[in-house]
Structure 1
Amino acid sequence: MTFVVTENCIKCKYTDCVEVCPVDCFHEGPNFLVIDPDECIDCTLCEPECPAEAIYPEDDLPDGQEQFLELNAELSRSWPVLTTRKEAPADAEEWDGKPDKLQYLER
């Protein structure tokens, strides 16, 4: 099983989760993070670290977030690995919890 970064991470992009990952499975895009499903070891460390509550086990994805499993796999193949915590965008709190953010995903 893998963990999946879902829609609420878009434009929030907190990186607290990256710091606790023992296998460096997070990849960074312009305004979103993804988890490489081939690298994730299901350690569960990242999920509680996400301030935006945007990380879920693949078997427990909220309704409407299922497409993020494939999106994480796809984007992790082209985005660089992120291994250290960075500051969140200045407007991250404003975006946290807003619905329908997929349209803002920058590839």
Structure 2
Amino acid sequence: MTYVVTESCIKCKYTDCVDVCPVDCFHEGPNFLAIDPDECIDCTLCVAECPVEAIYAEDDVPDNQRHFIALNAELSKTWKTLTEKIDALPDADEWAKVTDKLDKLER
């Protein structure tokens, strides 16, 4: 099993999760983070650190967000690895509670 970043991360990109990851499985896109399922060791540390509750165990991803499992796998193969915390996007707090924002994901 792996962990999966879901829709809540889009246009926020808080990186508290990256700081606690022992294996550097997070990858950074323009406005979203993805977890590489081949690198994730299922340690659960990132889940509690996410301020927008965007990270789920693969088996617990809500039904309406199951497509993020494949999306994380795809994007993590092309985006650069992020190994330390960086600033969230400037308007992250404004986007934190917005739903239905998949169309805002930048590749």
TM-score (structure 1 length as normaliser)? 0.98
Matches within 5 A, 1:79-90: 79-90=79-90
Counterpart AA for 1:43:
C
Query: Larger deviation: 34-43 or 96-105?
Result: 96-105
In structure 1, the partner of 2:10 is 10
Specify every segment of 5 or more residues in structure 1 that has no aligned partner in the other structure, as ranges: none
Deviation at 1:91, TM superposition (A): 0.7
Counterpart AA for 1:89:
L
Deviation at 1:62, TM superposition (A): 1.3
Q: Following TM superposition, where does structure 1 have runs of at least 4 consecutive aligned residues deviating by more than 4 angstroms?
A: none
In structure 2, the partner of 1:37 is 37
Distance 1:94 1:16 in 2: 18
State the Cα deviation string for residues 71-101 of structure 1 (Å, max 9, x = none): 0000000000000100111110110121111
Deviation at 1:63, TM superposition (A): 2.5
Counterpart AA for 2:94:
E
Counterpart AA for 1:5:
V
State the Cα deviation string for residues 11-44 of structure 1 (Å, max 9, x = none): 0100000000000000000000000000000000
Q: How many residue pairs were aligned? A: 107
In structure 2, the partner of 1:52 is 52
Counterpart AA for 2:75:
L
Specify every segment of 5 or more residues in structure 2 that has no aligned partner in the other structure, as ranges: none
In structure 1, the partner of 2:74 is 74
Q: Secondary structure at the match of 2:87?
A: coil
TM-score (structure 2 length as normaliser)? 0.98
Counterpart AA for 2:102:
L
Distance 1:99 1:43 in 2: 27
- The alignment yields a C-alpha RMSD, in angstroms, of 0.5
